[in-house]
Amino acid sequence: MPVRGHLVELRRRVLLAGLGIVVAAVGGWLVYDKLLGVLMKPLRRAAVANDSAVTLNFSTVASSFDLKLQLSMFLGFLISCPWWMYHLWAFVSPALSRQEKWRAAGFLTAAVPLFLGGAYLAWWVLPNAVELLTAFTPVDAVNLIDAQSYLTFVIRLMAAFALAFLVPVLMVALNLAGVVSAATWGRGWRWAVFIAFAFAAMASPSPDVLTMFVLAIPICALYGLAVAVAALHDRRSARRTAAEGLAV
C-alpha cells in the first residue's frame, strides 16, 4: 500500500474509533446525573468521616456544562476501549504475518480486561484517597473542591492504574520482538516489586498498610505472569534454533 493509502486507512480507523467514543459518550451524557451521584459518594463519605463540609464547587457559569461534557467523554473513552483498541489493531494488522496477527490478537484480548481492571481498582481506592486528603482540612473550615479539579484527580488516578496494568502486555511484546529476554525481566524482579509498592503507596494514599498490599500484589503478580510467558517463549525459541542447527 502506498503512503497515501496508509494515511487514508489511518484516517478511516481514527474516524471509526472516534465515532465509537462519541456514541459511548452520548450514553454517558444520558446517565450523567447518576454518574455524578456516584462520583460524589467519596466526598460525602469524607465529610462524615472528617466531620466537616466537603462538596463540589462550580466556580464559573459554564463549569457545570464543562463537567458534564468532560465526564461524558471520559466515560465514553473508558467503556469503548474494546472498540478503539480493535481499530488500532486493525490498522497495523495488514503489515503483520499470520503468526504476528495471532500474537497481536492475543495482546488485544489481554489488554482490554487489564485496562478495565486497573481502572476499576483505582475506583475502589478512590474513597480512601479522598477521605485521607480531605482530612487535612483545618477545623471550622469548609472544603469546597473545584468540580473540574476533582474530575481531573479521578481521571488521573484511574488512568495511572489502567496504564500500570498494561505494563505486562508491553513486557511480553518486547520479549516477542526480541528486544528484552525473560532472563533480563527476571533479574529485575526486586526493582519491579519496589516500584509496584512505591506506586501503590503514592497512588493510593491510605493510612492502612492493607490497602497498599491489595494494590501492589496484583501488579507484582502480573509482572510475574509476564516473566513466565516470556520465559516460555524464550525456551521455545531456543529449541527451534537448536533444531534448525541440527538440521543444517
* Residue range 91-120, pLDDT digits in tens: 776 666 677 667 777 777 888 888 888 888
Specify whether 128 is located in the same domain as 236.
no
Q: Which residues contact 169 (CB under 8 A, 6 or more apart)?
A: 107, 110, 111, 114, 226
Domain end position, chosen among 147, 177, 201:
147
The residue type found at 63 is S
Predicted confidence at residue 210, as pLDDT, reads 67
Specify whether 74 is located in the same domain as 22.
yes
| Structural domains in the chain (count) | 2
In the chain, count H helices and then E strands: 10, 2
Q: Which residues contact 7 (CB under 8 A, 6 or more apart)?
A: none
Asked if the structure places residue 152 within a domain, the reply is no
Specify whether 126 is located in the same domain as 214.
no
Specify whether 8 is located in the same domain as 122.
yes
Specify whether 130 is located in the same domain as 233.
no
Owner of C-alpha cell 482530612: 135
Which of 12-16, 125-129, 215-219 has the highest mean predicted lDDT (pLDDT)? Answer: 12-16
Specify whether 118 is located in the same domain as 18.
yes
Asked if the structure places residue 70 within a domain, the reply is yes
**Helices 98-134 and 167-176, packing angle to 10 deg:** 150
Asked if the structure places residue 42 within a domain, the reply is yes
> In the predicted model, what is the mean pLDDT of residues 179-186?
85
Specify whether 171 is located in the same domain as 105.
no
Q: Quick one: residue 56, left, alpha or beta (phi over 0 = left, psi -120 to 50 = alpha)?
A: beta
Report the distance separating Cα 158 and Cα 117, nearest Å: 10
Report the distance separating Cα 108 and Cα 172, nearest Å: 12
CB contact at 8 A, 130 and 42: yes
Predicted confidence at residue 129, as pLDDT, reads 78
Asked if the structure places residue 156 within a domain, the reply is no
Task: Name the residue range of residue 72's domain.
Answer: 1-147
Asked if the structure places residue 159 within a domain, the reply is no
Structure confidence at residue 248 as a pLDDT band (50, 70, 90): low
Q: What is the DSSP letter of 2?
A: -
Owner of C-alpha cell 508491553: 170
Asked if the structure places residue 57 within a domain, the reply is yes
Specify whether 85 is located in the same domain as 131.
yes
CA 164 to chain centre: 6
Report the distance separating Cα 175 and Cα 163, nearest Å: 19
Specify whether 123 is located in the same domain as 50.
yes
Asked if the structure places residue 94 within a domain, the reply is yes
Asked if the structure places residue 56 within a domain, the reply is yes
The residue type found at 129 is A
Specify whether 141 is located in the same domain as 170.
no
CB contact at 8 A, 182 and 234: yes
pLDDT digits (tens, 9 = 90+) for 81-94: 888 888 877 777 66
Residue 247 has pLDDT above 70, yes or no: no
Predicted confidence at residue 156, as pLDDT, reads 81
pLDDT digits (tens, 9 = 90+) for 25-52: 998 899 888 888 888 888 888 888 777 7
**Run of H or E including 55:** strand 54-57
Structure confidence at residue 19 as a pLDDT band (50, 70, 90): very high
**Helices 209-247 and 98-134, packing angle to 10 deg:** 170
